[in-house]
Amino acid sequence: MTFLSPKRHAVLQSIGIDVWIRREPSAVIDSLSAEHLDLSSAEPPVWHELQMQVAACTRCGLHRHRTQTVFGVGNKSASWLVVGEAPGKEEDRQGEPFVGRAGQLLNAMLMAIGLTREEIYIANILKCRPPKNRDPSREEVTNCESYLERQIGLLNPRIILAMGRVAAQNLLKSEKPIGRMRGQVYTYGKRSIPVVVTYHPAYLLRSPGEKRKAWKDLLLAIHTDEIQKSTRL
């Protein structure tokens, strides 16, 4: 059995996981990290144009209440795309997805599998905050989904990690409870991009007993990504 490094084990403990996992050595994780070390800060013109379109969007009533749109953040050459639900109060204020305590937990979860926030790309189903953090309406999702579709098309990730019920159900066009969606690999779009479903970090903060399940989801995502890497060579 290969044990996790002390640093990675400490990260797992910080998110409530204290287990030894039989797995290959750090080659899997190191290969994920090394592949994305060139994190250029230059904004590709097509990304900038799309971001400006989102910033000016008035397709639904949410634009009347927002502080700003929350386009997405991260490496625009990333192999991993994390899709969340919709901006919350802090996201609306800062213009970035997954901030605050939920963002800190997401960062710890990524670190546990050898990734950093800067190596992946993060986007939401909605680009504007719904009032009082309510679930998005069908109309709001429909009006906003072309933006996420274009982001996915530009990114062409090897894998998508859908975090939370709203993200998973809307991305995969399913009404299944998230508990029944976990544990299997789905595909998205004509390119059949693998999708792994897990719990939203905000939910894990409220229900820490579910963190062990989320860890299993992350391991499934790593395994799936390894398969994708071999098929894309």
pTM above 0.75, yes or no: yes
**Residue in 54, 124, 121, 123 with CA at minimum distance from that of residue 85:** 124
| Alpha-carbon span 222 to 232, nearest angstrom | 15
pLDDT by residue (tens digit) across 120-135? 999 999 999 999 889 9
In degrees and rounded to multiples of 5, residue 162 shows phi and psi of -90, 120
Q: Which CATH class is domain 6-36+43-232?
A: alpha beta
Q: Euclidean distance between the first and final Cα of the chain, in Å?
A: 29
- Residues pairing with 187 in the sheet: 194
Q: How many CB atoms lie under 10 A from the CB of residue 140?
A: 20
* Contact yes or no for 217/181 (Cβ under 8 A): no
Average pLDDT over residues 84-90: 95
Q: What is the pLDDT of residues 23-33, one digit of tens each?
A: 444 443 344 44
- Six-digit token string for 39: 């994190």
Q: In angstroms, rounded to a whole number, what is the distance separating the alpha carbons of residues 69 and 92?
A: 7
- pLDDT, mean over the chain: 87
Residues 6 or more apart whose Cβ sits within 8 Å of residue 121: 72, 73, 74, 75, 76, 78, 80, 81, 82, 151, 155, 157
